[in-house]
Amino acid sequence: MHNNLTYGKIDDLFPKTGTVVIADDYFRASGRLEKWGCPVLWVHASEEAKTLETVAHLTARLLELQADRDTMLIGVGGGVTTDITGFVAAIYKRGLRFGLVPTTLLAQVDAALGGKNGVNFDRYKNMLGTFRPAEFVYIDTDFLTTLPLRQLRCGAAEMLKTFILADSKAYEAAVNVFRSEKPQVPQWLVRRAGEIKLALVEQDPEDHGVRQLLNLGHTFGHAIEKCAPQYEHGEAVAIGLVMAARMAVEKGLMDPAEATRIREDLQAIGLPTEPPVLEKDLRNAILQDKKRSGSRLRFVLPEHIGKATLWEESVTA
């Protein structure tokens, strides 16, 4: 299940014959992908486009190209694009080889790693999906130099989430990087976040136990995305991290000062920290969380920066 993580330049990585690229249309104007010499299928990389309709469109295009079981798909873009590519690869003719080239920080440290692929349904995040790892994930941090600051901050939220789970020193280093108005993200931080995530994935490939720690901030975050779609995924996760820390304090798992530190660190790098919707609306969305099992819902709660735990609560509609 381990993704083959590779760092460097992408252009000579894969054979150009028998390959189809699925790419974020952000790159359409650059002409860079066409130079690879293989067909490119463009997608509009937004949560609104992460749907079965988009999957159906890409399937029709693959049929037009006469793609067969020997075709390889390459997904180039952020987390939306890599999720869609993996999902299409998993279901087209019962499975194609695929690789991913994540171009946003959020995708490089989280979305493109671990073999989860999916699309949204009725604005519920990743309600339809598969577990299928990419043949390779190619990380080129040069892509990060052209990202808007908002997108870098969204990636910072996922990176900090990962470090809250397992590495307090990397957490502190990342906060210092993202306090800058023009963050320069060092490759070692990207690599460290990937190592932590993949170590959990290897222990629990299909998300039945310890891998669920990676959902820190996401039970709240996904509900916020459904109720307030103006928020990017990373922004919703940042709010979710603060809410998880508050819940951990309420349960006696976390020192209030540590929870305050997380909130103030996220604020310092320009991320939102307060839920934008009424509690009852958020609760209704949380009740639809795909991690719910009967009357039980599993949360991930931090104990301190560097360690988190799974916590189950009884929930009622």
Looking at every residue in the chain, the average pLDDT score rounds to: 91
Average pLDDT over residues 212-234: 93
Average pLDDT over residues 5-17: 70
Q: Which residue has the higher pLDDT, 162 or 3?
A: 162
- Verify that 96 and 168 share a domain, yes or no: no
Residue at which a domain ends, from 102, 117, 145:
145
- Verify that 217 and 203 share a domain, yes or no: yes
- Verify that 132 and 163 share a domain, yes or no: no
Q: Range with the lowest mean pLDDT among 20-29, 130-139, 193-202, 307-316?
A: 307-316
Res. 313: pLDDT tops 90 = no
118 neighbors 127 (Cβ within 8 angstroms): yes
Residue at which a domain ends, from 90, 125, 145:
145
Question: Would the pTM count as exceeding 0.85?
Answer: yes
- Verify that 93 and 215 share a domain, yes or no: no
- Verify that 126 and 237 share a domain, yes or no: no
**How many Cβ atoms are within 10 Å of 182's Cβ, its own excluded?**
7
Q: State the CATH number of the domain containing residue 299.
A: 1.20.1090.10
* Separation of alpha carbons 40 and 58, rounded Å: 11
* Separation of alpha carbons 263 and 260, rounded Å: 5
- Verify that 135 and 155 share a domain, yes or no: no
* Separation of alpha carbons 297 and 152, rounded Å: 31
SS3 assignment for 136-203:
EEEECHHHHHHCCHHHHHHHHHHHHHHHHHHCHHHHHHHHHHHCCCCCCCCHHHHHHHHHHHHHHHHH
Residue at which a domain ends, from 145, 168, 190:
145
Strand residues in 4-141 grouped as ranges (E):
5-7, 19-24, 40-43, 72-77, 97-102, 116-121, 124-131, 136-139
- Verify that 100 and 211 share a domain, yes or no: no
pLDDT value of residue 248: 97
Average pLDDT over residues 294-312: 91
Res. 184: pLDDT tops 50 = yes
Q: Which residue has the higher pLDDT, 313 or 53?
A: 53
pLDDT value of residue 278: 82
Question: Percentage of the chain surpassing pLDDT 90?
Answer: 74
Could you tell me which of 146, 168, 140, 186 has the C-alpha nearest to residue 13? 140
pLDDT value of residue 294: 58
Average pLDDT over residues 147-161: 97
pLDDT value of residue 1: 43
Q: Which domain covers residue 271, as residue numbers?
A: 148-314
Average pLDDT over residues 292-302: 80
Average pLDDT over residues 138-162: 94
What would the pLDDT profile of 71-103 be if each residue is shown by its tens digit?
Answer: 999 999 999 999 999 999 999 999 999 999 999
SS3 220: helix
